[in-house]
Amino acid sequence: MSGYLAYLAKRLGQFVLVVFIGVNLAYVVTHATPIDPVEQSISAATSFGNTAPEAIEQMRQSLKELYGLGGSWSQQYLTFWSRILRADFGPSLSAFPTPVSALIGRALPWTMGLLIVSTVVTWALGNLLGGLAGYYQRNRALKLMGVVAMGLHPIPYYIVALVLLIVFGFVWPVLPINGGSAMNLPQGWTWAYASSVLLHSILPALSLILIGVGSWFLGMRSLVSNIVTEDYVQFAELGGVNRERILGSYVMRNALGPQVTGLAMSLGGIFNGAIITEKVFGYPGVGTLLVDAVYAGDYGLVLGVTTISILGVSIGVLAIDLLYPLLDPRVQVR
Amino acid sequence: MLAILRDLLKYNLEFRIGIILVGIVIGLAGLSFFSPYPPTDVYVVAPDVPPSAEYWFGTTSRGQDVFWQLTVAIRNTLLFGLTVAVISRVLSLVIGLLSGYKGGWIDRALMAVNDTFIVIPLFPLLVLFYFVLRDSMSWLLLAVIMAALGWAYDARLIRSVAMSLKTREFTQTAVFSGMTTREILAREHLPYVMPIVFSTTMNNMNWSIGLEVTLSVLGFTDINTPTIGGMIYWANQHTAMVAGVWWWIAFPVAVVIMAFVGLFLLAVSMNEYIDPRSRLSRMGGGAR
């Protein structure tokens, strides 16, 4: 049990460090630049339409506070942290006076839903197929799948999403390509709304899955094809254990450990992909929020989304890390 | 070196395909030096002409020849990827080798920072960078920022090799013959990790080009330097797909996909070559 506690402490320490370094990066980025961010934001925010001079002055005041530009640098630094710990990023400039935290709170469930479902599907599918491909190396269909995975995997999220958008939006328009649900539906637990949400999520999820499956497939295939040459697998084969059982509980079980660690390590990248995909399909999650906030010059919102993303991803990684000992009993002994 | 190349060409289909794809893309980039038009000028040819004998890939709504624009764009994009890769290779080599060789608290501290950079979602951070810097976000600055954020994964890989090199006999000999840490790392260990450095260069280029394309498409970079992402950005600005100017998007996307798949295949085949087990099985020997 002490092994597990030590593991837990180490993971928690890493979690705190990730959040600390991430937030500090955000601080350095926003404070160590030669440009006056307040004037930048104001000129960007007021370039669309008319804004009353009093409103600009009010904006300037709240921005200065938000950036923590008053007082010595140590005071500024502490103000920055206290705002982040309270998740208080002030009112949004582009959707004045809605607070930034409310906007993010509204967008977060969309992103989390898309991200969790597509990541689970991708990971399970990629590992299952990759495991089969590594074990049944002569199977034609699985070989072909390997070729497809190799071709799809290196292409960045944006390009795949764009191609899907073109195919299903212009060439063969059968699926909705924009938004999280149909415009005129009241939100609620009705069948019409739920099916609309599901239908709208197909393309974003599909583009995430198409790219993601490849790396798990290739990783699992090479892990499994190395494990099958191990002595204990040969022994099991000679002992007449049936092949499905060997693959399931002898080979894949052992290969899952590195793949779970891999999931924790690539979560940041998957998150990047999800928010890019959201923007392409106009999905109402934090990705769309972030990009639109940049266009509107909304500093509080950009900073808010950035820090919440860092926090969210590190919580996700921590959760996966805490599940890992269930899979690898060696952690508890060490 | 030549023997390695010959073996790879002979036994490895992925390497052959990869080298052809990358060759085509580099060839295109090389053609940019013969472009009849200055790359940043607009309205030099008739706009919206579909692909024809005169304009192979058609022309854009901004009056640029897509083919020649594309050659410059892919050159800049590749150059960007290479710059990021070279700078971040230096970082990951220094950190990986030092961490693996020294061990102890240096290793623990470096790897804690390293794991942080692996986990942090970089896209929002890069967007934040752009948001603050705006117009002063130049091509080179973006490359440096991405290199500073993108070394971590490969540093861990290099560290794992360095850890095993540390226990080898020649390292002990080097220590006893009075070589300093710097000398051991640079002269004894560096040659061993070079193959990994080459294969990770390809993957790192894919990573940085992918992010650069994404940022450019959203308009979050210096959009006046022609890049693949920049081309798609301008095409989107002119709603090229709706207007039926499909060639403006299709050709840049096709070329950049070729670059991605080519670089990835090169990286994969090099990785296989580095691992003697998979190299043997590919050449027809081995256990299975």
For residue B152, is it within any domain? Answer: yes
Per the structure, the complete domain to which residue B157 belongs is given by: 2-17+29-282
Assign residue B86 the CATH number of its domain. Answer: 1.10.3720.10
Please give the Cα distance from A274 to A222 (Å, whole number): 27
* Helix and strand counts by DSSP (H, E) for chain A: 14, 0
Among the listed residues B159, B181, B67, the one whose alpha carbon sits nearest the alpha carbon of residue B113: B159
pLDDT over 50 at B287, yes or no: no
Asked, for residue B71, whether it belongs to a domain, the answer is yes
- Any domain includes B23: no
Mean pLDDT of chain A: 82
Q: For the ranges A73-77, A143-147, A222-226, B182-186, which has the lowest average pLDDT?
A: A73-77
The predicted-structure confidence for B26-62, as pLDDT tens digits, reads as follows: 999 888 888 888 777 777 777 777 787 777 788 887 8
Percent of chain B with pLDDT over 90: 20
Q: Number of structural domains, chain B?
A: 1
pLDDT of residue B86: 94
Q: Is B285 on the interface with A (CB under 8 A)?
A: no
Q: What mean pLDDT is predicted for residues A287-304?
A: 84
CA angle B257-B262-B266, nearest 5°?
Answer: 150
pLDDT above 50 for B288? no
Chain B residues near residue A153 by CB distance under 8 angstroms: 264
Q: Answer yes or no: are the C-beta atoms of A273 and B122 closer than 8 Å.
A: no
Please give the angle made by the CA atoms of B249, B251 and B253, to the nearest 5 degrees. 65
- Among chain B residues, the shortest Cα distance to A18 is held by B116
Domains annotated for chain A, with CATH where assigned, are 110-296 (1.10.3720.10)
pLDDT digits (tens, 9 = 90+) for B127-142: 888 888 777 778 888 9
**ipTM > 0.85, yes or no:** no
Reply yes or no on whether the pLDDT at B210 is more than 80.
Answer: yes
> Does B63 reside within a domain?
yes
Single-letter code of the amino acid located at A326: L
What is the rounded CA–CA span in Å between residue A268 and residue B159?
Answer: 21
For residue B83, the model assigns a pLDDT of 94
Q: Is B222 domain-assigned? A: yes
Q: Looking at the complex, report in whole angstroms how far the Cα of residue B116 sits from the nearest Cα belonging to chain A.
A: 5
Determine contact: B113 vs chain A, CB below 8 A: yes
For residue A116, give both structure tokens: 């969790």
Q: Which of A38, A69, A272, A310 to mutate to test the interface with B (most CBs of B within 10 A)?
A: A272
In B167-227, which ranges are continuous DSSP H helix?
Answer: 169-176, 181-183, 190-217
Contact between chains at B14 and A150 (C-beta distance less than 8 A): yes
Is B288 inside a domain boundary?
A: no
A314, B153: Cβ pair inside 8 Å?
Answer: no
Q: Phi/psi at B257 (nearest 5 deg)?
A: -65, -40
Residue B17: CB atoms within 10 Å = 17
Output the average pLDDT for chain B. Answer: 85
Between chains, do A14 and B263 touch, taking CB under 8 Å as contact? no
Contact A281, A111 (CB under 8 A): no
Name residues whose C-beta falls within 8 Å of residue B212's C-beta, 6 or more positions apart in sequence.
B77, B80, B81, B142, B146, B221, B227, B229
The pLDDT score that the predictor gives to residue A331 is: 67
- B7: confidence class by pLDDT, cuts 50, 70, 90: confident
CA distance B157 to B96: 7
- CB of B109 less than 8 A from some CB of A: no
Name the closest residue on chain A to residue B206, using Cα atoms. A154
Nearest C-alpha neighbor of B92 from the set B80, B81, B82, B100: B100
A33 CB neighbours in chain B (<8 A) are 132-133
pLDDT tens-digit series, residues A23-68: 888 888 877 666 666 776 677 666 655 667 777 777 777 677 666 6
pLDDT by residue (tens digit) across B180-198?
888 888 888 888 888 888 8
* Cis amide bond preceding A97, omega within 30: yes
Per-residue DSSP letter, B50: P
User: What tens digit of pLDDT does each residue of A105-142 get?
Assistant: 888 888 998 999 999 999 999 999 999 998 888 888 88
How far apart CA B126 and CA B173 sit, in angstroms, is 45
- CB pairs < 8 Å spanning A and B: 141
CB-count exposure of residue A52 (10 Å: 0-12, 13-18, 19+) = exposed
SS3 A243: helix
User: Is the distance from CB of A271 to CB of A115 less than 8 angstroms?
Assistant: yes
How close is the nearest chain A Cα to the Cα of B167, in Å? 23
Residues near B37 by beta carbon (within 8 Å), at least 6 away in sequence = B44, B45, B64, B65, B68
- The answer to whether B118 and B184 have CB atoms below 8 angstroms apart is no
